[in-house]
Structure 1
């Protein structure tokens, strides 16, 4: 007998799962490729009825729902905000949900391939969304499909919630929670294994310079999103290229008579994981300051940018903090731009329970004042966590450890996932950050985003067994 809550190795089942995955793998890869082929960044300029986040997210939603229907699910589009696809259970009032998103962050100029044409290279799938979150979406669907093909009818409905606005405003989840009951339990395949029971707070804002007088910066719009450290950034300043020194990682060219274009190539990544990155905005700032290429007012603001970007612990701008649950606060600068005669620098921080919006506003306003700038909050989401000793977390960690042979513990993250929007939820894979990918494989939100096919296969097996475990919990 299987002791309640403790999975035991079932050789016949695991071999059947492995064979099932192999038999369907090429189809799964093809379905991921179809979704990657849809550019699904938010485009509010072209939003309209039925496509509140623009035509790209709507097209991706339609494709996702089409796949759900072909897999035998009851699938519905809810005004373009969110999709819902079910395999009904014996008790329709209780739902065990996955939620994945088909919108993506924008693609910077540093890709070495078309980001919306998925390619296979040495066991990796390459393309925007392969890891975040189109690949995991397809894998999560097939995990539910496995049990449907086995003829299993679980006590609770299996539901996939298809998001379209995760990368920006989360208005998809807002819509879902306004129209549907809270899930009985939910996990999202949009983070890391083994299982995440808590997420740092997410705080964002903007530094703004005073009016720039006699400025040397002609054009600047660097970075693609607040929550991404840019790999690529460029700036156009007044000057002549032959008068400027060369620098590692920078390409300097004459844009027009009297105008020089300086482009930086760093190593980007997600705002929640700044370690090991090299911010392209920071590279430009360092070059401009070292060579005194901007006006006094611009230099003052660039010094503020350097203070922010050079120390992602937040100590430079007075917001360093930590706690036992989440560890240390991190902070990054993701976008910089010139608008209406003023310079702007975004802020994105992932913070523990010992810090708050009020503290950010106080300390960052003080930092801004030191450099003749101002500061304003853009948005804030407080830290989220559930009990790691609860039955759901304990079952999922056991499944993970059984499949992999590891002995890992539940953890918290700095990233923000859908889980924090629900009362009883967790983030569950698919990344295993301790496994090093080749240098040519980029991270989520970065250039040349990619994911290991073996990682996706293992994730699929974990999700299949994880669903069974959660379905065995008594939610009377």
Structure 2
């Protein structure tokens, strides 16, 4: 029996066990929470990491927990190691009523596992752990050191991998099953920033406004509390907007009115697949709020300059790239906050940009555009684009495995989504799904095709084998 046949046989025999352990980790809610002693990202993530490492121990791997920031399971020998990186943190699940199953059940229906984390990224990284067990058991002369790394902060800042690199050496080669098959040779840069404006609470008809919780998610809902005298005007302007892809609901509450705008959530790397309720709420407010309102300047800016497009054209940052994909922008959060005794309304944005623009260009353009409208620009986080030549050893070896296993001719791909590959040297994304599969990460009914998951396991095992040569 060949090495590949032995690996496939082991995966087949232990696949039900793999699925059960994926479900076990999915059933732990691992959304980032307030830091507590010993739990930098909350108790749910601490428990999730501990249980994941227990699975590694059960499979016979050496496990290490780096202060609940990140953990790993490893086997083999040598100074250098090959790594597989994934994350067990997830974004919030949203309205449970919009899911076909309990979002933390791991339920399998029609050969799909449907749950938050099934695709992004618990399913793939736990399956990779079992794929390494298959490699270890099926190829007994394989002695290279392999490490499966479990992050806990990929969705909210990547502090986990920064902590890892402060404690451990980077891998010789690595991949993360958090992108797409075949090999992801390029990832767009990620740039987050906010626009805001100070306003006088006594001189506005807006009592509160909020929408979204994560900058990397197109939110489902945005809402505003307005003074009651605007009730008729709101209803009139909703009618004047005509047919829109968003839905508005107007409620009378506590002597005021609440306007709720409902959109369609999506991942910020592909905001065009969703409908952003924040953008549409500002479109409505621009028709409703008077010119002497202290928040009007910001409302006009959001409605007329930012607009409803996702290509950045209103902010003069539109960038086209045929090889890696164009720039996209999404507004993920809007809220009122107090900073240094000033009251501000702020909107937080997430940009995914290709290699033919730059951090410096975005800094200058966004600041300049804000100044034109007397809006304050706040730069926040930045991760530079990732780019590996298609003929680099890491890309070529994994591409070979993909073609050998699938018999497909897909070429290496570029993605807008950001992965750990941006932070970890010598790393690309590889898997977990084919380009035609739409698993709806960050949305309702996130799912993973379990046959695709199994085929991915074969490629992870053979990929490590190939990278070790």
Q: TM-score, normalised by structure 2?
A: 0.89
Worse-superposed segment, 278-287 or 292-301? 292-301
What is aligned with 1:75? 63
- Kept in 1: contact 2:175–2:429 (CA 8 A): yes
The whole-number CA distance in structure 2 between the counterparts of 1:251 and 1:294 is 23
Distance 1:335 1:178 in 2: 31
CA distance in 2, matches of 1:448, 1:147: 32
Identify if the C-alpha distance between structure 1 residues 374 and 297 changes in structure 2 by more than 3 Å, giving closer, same or farther: same
How far apart in 2 are the matches of 1:37 and 1:207? Answer: 37
Larger CA deviation: 23-32 vs 231-240: 231-240
* Cα gap change, 1:65 to 1:317, in 2 (>3 Å): same
Partner of 2:206: 217
Query: What corresponds to 2:181 in structure 1?
Result: 193
- Give structure 1 stretches of 5+ with no counterpart: 1-10
Query: What are the superposed Cα offsets for residues 363-414 of structure 1, whole Å, 9 maximum, x if unpaired?
Result: 1122222333111101112222233212221121121122222111112222
Report what 2:334 is aligned to. 336
Rate the CA distance shift 1:196–1:66 in 2: closer, same or farther, 3 A.
same
Corresponding residue of 1:42: 32
* SS in structure 1 at match of 2:140: coil
Q: Does 1:27 align with 2:17?
A: yes
CA contact (8 A) 1:309 1:332 kept: no
1:450 partnered with 2:447: yes
**More deviation in 456-465 or 67-76?**
456-465
Question: Residue in 1 aligned with 2:399?
Answer: 397
Contact 1:309 1:333 (C-alpha < 8 Å) held by counterparts: no
Q: Is the 8 A contact 2:53 2:63 kept in 1?
A: yes
State how far apart, in whole Å, the 1-side matches of 2:231 and 2:287 are. 16
Alpha-carbon distance in structure 2 between the residues aligned to 1:263 and 1:39: 27
Alignment of 1:88-127 (within 5 A): 88-89=76-77, 92-109=78-95, 111-112=98-99, 113-127=101-115
Query: Could you tell me how far 1:242 is from its partner in structure 2?
Result: 6.7
Count matched residues: 453
Once residues 279 and 138 of structure 1 are traced to their aligned partners in structure 2, the CA distance between those partners, rounded to angstroms, is 33
Q: Secondary structure at the match of 2:390?
A: coil
Q: Is the partner of 1:67 in helix, strand or coil?
A: helix
Which of 419, 425, 432 aligns to 2:421? It is 419
**Contact 2:189–2:385 at 8 Å: present in 1 too?**
yes
- Superposed CA offset, 1:61-97 (max 9, x none): 10110010011100111111111211113xx201011
Which residue in the other structure is 1:133 paired with?
Answer: 121
Distance in 2, Cα, partners of 1:202 & 1:363? 16
Quick one: distance in 1 between partners of 2:345 and 2:292? 12
Paired with 1:400 and 1:199, the residues of 2 have a C-alpha distance of 19
Deviates more, 1:222-231 or 1:247-256: 247-256
Residues 181-234 of structure 1 show CA distances to partners (whole Å, capped at 9, x for unaligned) of 121111111111110122221111110023145222222221121111112333
Aligned to 1:60: 48
* Aligned counterpart, 1:461: 458
Partner residue of 2:196? 208
Q: Distance in 2 between matches of 1:415 and 1:309?
A: 23
CA deviation profile, 1:270-329 (whole Å, cap 9, x unmatched): 111123221121222223334558974434322322332522221110112245653422
1:5 matched residue in structure 2: none
Deviation track 1:78-129 (CA, whole Å, cap 9, x = no partner) reads: 111111211113xx20101101111112233364354222222222111111
SS in 1 for 2:153: coil
Contact 2:325–2:416 (8 Å) recurs in 1 = no
- Segment drifting more, 279-288 vs 163-172: 279-288
> Which residue is equivalent to 1:352?
354
- Secondary structure of the equivalent of 1:408? coil
Structure 1: distance between partners of 2:200 and 2:115: 40
Give the whole-Å Cα distance in 1 for the aligned partners of 2:3 and 2:144. 21
Q: More deviation in 131-140 or 145-154?
A: 145-154
CA distance in 2: counterparts of 1:125 and 1:218, whole angstroms: 42
Distance in 2 separating the partners of 1:296 and 1:458: 58
Counterparts of residues 247-286 of structure 1 (less than 5 Å): 249-286=246-283
What's 1:471 paired with?
468
Which whole-Å CA distance do the structure 1 matches of 2:325 and 2:250 have between them? 43
Aligned partners of 1:264 and 1:25: how far apart in 2? 43
Distance 1:373 1:286 in 2: 17
Pair 384,170 (structure 1): closer, same or farther in 2 beyond 3 Å? same
Question: Normalization by structure 1: what TM-score?
Answer: 0.88
Provide the aligned C-alpha RMSD in A: 2.4
